[in-house]
Amino acid sequence: MRDLTEISNPYSDGKIIDSCSIFGMMDTSGKCFSGKDITKAIGNMHFRGNGLGGGFAIYGLYPEYADYYAFHIMYLSKDSQNQVESFLKENFHVVVTDEIPTQPTPAIINPPLVWRYFLEVDMGKCVLQEPDDYVTEKVMQINTCMDGAFVFSSGKNMGVFKGVGYPEEIAEYFCLNDYQGYLWTSHGRFPTNTRGWWGGAHPFNILDWTVVHNGEISSYGINYRCLEQFGYLCTMQTDTEVVAYIIDLLMRKHGLPIEIVAKIMAPPFWDDIERLPQDERELLIALRQVYSSMLLNGPFTIIIAHQGEMIGFTDRIRLRPLTVGVKGSMLYLSSEEASIRLISPDLDKAWIPMGGEPIIGRLATENQKQFITGVTEVRTGNKLR
């Protein structure tokens, strides 16, 4: 009998195309919780990675500094740190600076320096720009012009923690059990087309948008060339980076809802579009014409997060797995149902969504208390079952 590696990779070329693990969990009531459960869940999918990348995104992380942009920056040398800190002082009001706490972890070897900065935009310097656009521009400037420095998290009241290692090792290294957040996403990486390095681990971030991804974006070339026209510069040497920037462009700058964005990134096939009612058909044709360079080719499952919302969806024919679970106010998204049930055995609902159809979890509001279990809204293209 062939082993699992041979079944997964019949060509014996060392490329395991169905690996990587993703997991997201959100308390839609807004209650914060530690990283204990998500570390346990992503660790249950240890075999899907190879130790060359792991990471977490946490929302609701910095309530005492919620009005400031929180930059997490990796440095390869003290010289690069000095250069970036001078740049930050010239372009922002630096409110707080500190080294991100870590602890000795046997598996973590030669880590970079990792610092965080809480920054306020100097409105006198961005008269012709929105603050978010100003921050995005400065992040791109650091990441492209300053050797040995990478801004890998730049949102408000959230943070990314990532590096080279299995995700449970990254959680230990960054002491994530000491943090609290209402929404967590995580990733275990098995690099296929790009090298494993600290900046190339997931999640990928711009402002408060983060993306974790399992799969392969074969349209990377046309995606990044299109994004460059809008000022986004891809510097992290992996295909997933374009997904984060596409989401920021379409949802923040163009103001499109995720239901439309999903149809841009994972549209129906032309044969399917032709059979739709006229209004829907005309909309999808227009989206394909206007945003053709934003379509993602290749197999993928992604979890997108930003303040107050977690979204998961797959490519249009579901070549990478996604399972959804709901328990009370908790929404879970995972590569495997077993990881959800490990931390929440008695789910209210569990299902596999249709390809290309987004699963959306949002923080409850006073007007949403009649949705699932009275405190959450979870929507899909199909009825819950």
Question: What are the residue boundaries of the structural domains of the chain, listed by start?
Answer: 14-61+157-379, 72-93+109-154
Can you give the length of the chain in residues? 385
| Residue with tokens 């943070």, as numbered in its chain | 159
Instruction: Name beta bridge partners: 163.
Output: 54
DSSP letter string over 150-179? EEEE--BSEEEEEESS-HHHHHHHTTGGG-
The reported pLDDT for the residue numbered 12 is 58
State the helix-helix crossing angle for 278-290 and 258-265, rounded to 10 degrees.
70
The reported pLDDT for the residue numbered 190 is 73
Please name which of 16, 54, 26, 58 lies closest in space to residue 210, comparing C-alpha atoms. Answer: 58
Please name which of 188, 210, 204, 169 lies closest in space to residue 53, comparing C-alpha atoms. Answer: 188
What are the backbone angles phi and psi of residue 368, rounded to the nearest 5°?
A: -115, 20
Q: List C-alpha distances in Å: 33 to 166, 203, 289.
A: 22, 19, 43
136, two tokens? 């995005």
379, two tokens? 């929507």
Please name which of 124, 375, 130, 381 lies closest in space to residue 255, comparing C-alpha atoms. Answer: 130
Q: Which strand (E) or helix (H) includes residue 381?
A: none
The reported pLDDT for the residue numbered 19 is 79
Determine the 3-state secondary structure of 369 from DSSP: coil
State the helix-helix crossing angle for 131-145 and 78-91, rounded to 10 degrees.
160
41, two tokens? 């869940």
The domain 14-61+157-379 is placed in CATH, from the list 3.40.50.1220, 3.30.365.10, 3.30.1490.20, 3.60.20.10, at: 3.60.20.10
Please name which of 207, 202, 232, 171 lies closest in space to residue 307, comparing C-alpha atoms. Answer: 207
Q: Is 97 exposed, middle or buried (0-12, 13-18, 19+ CB in 10 A)?
A: middle
The reported pLDDT for the residue numbered 233 is 86
63, two tokens? 């309530």
Q: Is 20 a catalytic residue?
A: yes
Q: Which of 20, 175, 226, 234 is catalytic?
A: 20
**Cα distance between residue 80 and residue 346, in whole Å:** 50
Please name which of 288, 284, 303 lies closest in space to residue 358, comparing C-alpha atoms. Answer: 303
**Cα distance between residue 117 and residue 70, in whole Å:** 6
366, two tokens? 């006073």
**Cα distance between residue 168 and residue 315, in whole Å:** 27
The reported pLDDT for the residue numbered 291 is 95
Q: Which strand (E) or helix (H) includes residue 304?
A: strand 300-306
The reported pLDDT for the residue numbered 2 is 43
The reported pLDDT for the residue numbered 366 is 57
Taking the chain (385 residues) in runs of 10, the rounded mean pLDDT of each run is 50 59 96 97 91 93 97 96 97 96 94 97 86 95 94 97 95 96 92 75 94 89 92 82 93 94 93 93 95 92 96 93 96 96 96 94 68 37 34
